């Protein structure tokens, strides 16, 4: 049986914390689909197609990782991709409480299990929100992004 998981998020941008979650999840999953959720209500720094391209380029040499944008519920996307698992990273107690509720609902709706990975302690302060804020003010964000992620490519 192929163990396929969805790793959903906005990934605006994809940080070293996200990269760490994927790396760790690949130790027990056969395949991970990084699902970039499209939410028209959310103001993003990078357009969806650019986020897809940046992350695809980051994982170009890894056939076990793919990247797709999706619109709608994550459990519906998981079902469409025949994924039995959702991977989520947890940085704080607040994240845990939120994710626990969503995981319970997702399991009841579809039988899809959520696996929560706690962020490595040195990465807990890093969030896409903070990185976007730094980008807005012209600060160098390279310490917070995977080395191979090129946010300046067109």
Active site residues: 18, 42, 91, 128
CA-CA distance, 30 to 47, in Å (whole number)? 29
The C-alpha angle with vertex 9 and arms to 76 and 121, in degrees rounded to 5, equals 130
Extract long-range pairs of 127-135: CB within 8 Å, 24+ residues apart. Answer: 127/15, 127/17, 127/91, 128/9, 128/10, 128/11, 128/12, 128/13, 128/14, 128/15, 128/18, 131/13, 131/15, 132/12, 132/13, 132/45, 135/13, 135/45
Three-class SS state of 125: coil
């Amino acid at each position: 049986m192929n163990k396929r998981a969805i790793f959903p998020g906005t990934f605006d941008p994809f940080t070293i914390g996200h990269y760490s979650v994927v790396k760790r999840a690949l130790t027990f999953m056969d395949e991970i689909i990084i699902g970039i959720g499209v939410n028209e209500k959310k103001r993003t720094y990078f357009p969806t197609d650019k986020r897809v391209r940046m992350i695809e380029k980051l994982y170009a040499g890894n056939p076990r990782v793919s990247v797709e944008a999706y619109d709608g519920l994550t459990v519906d996307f998981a079902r469409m991709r025949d994924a039995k698992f959702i991977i989520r990273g947890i940085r704080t107690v607040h994240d845990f409480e939120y994710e626990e509720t969503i995981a319970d609902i997702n399991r009841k709706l579809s039988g899809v299990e959520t696996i929560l990975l706690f962020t490595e302690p040195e990465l807990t302060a890093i969030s896409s929100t903070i990185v976007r804020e730094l980008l807005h003010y012209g600060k160098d964000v390279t310490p917070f992004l995977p080395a191979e992620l090129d946010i300046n490519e067109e």
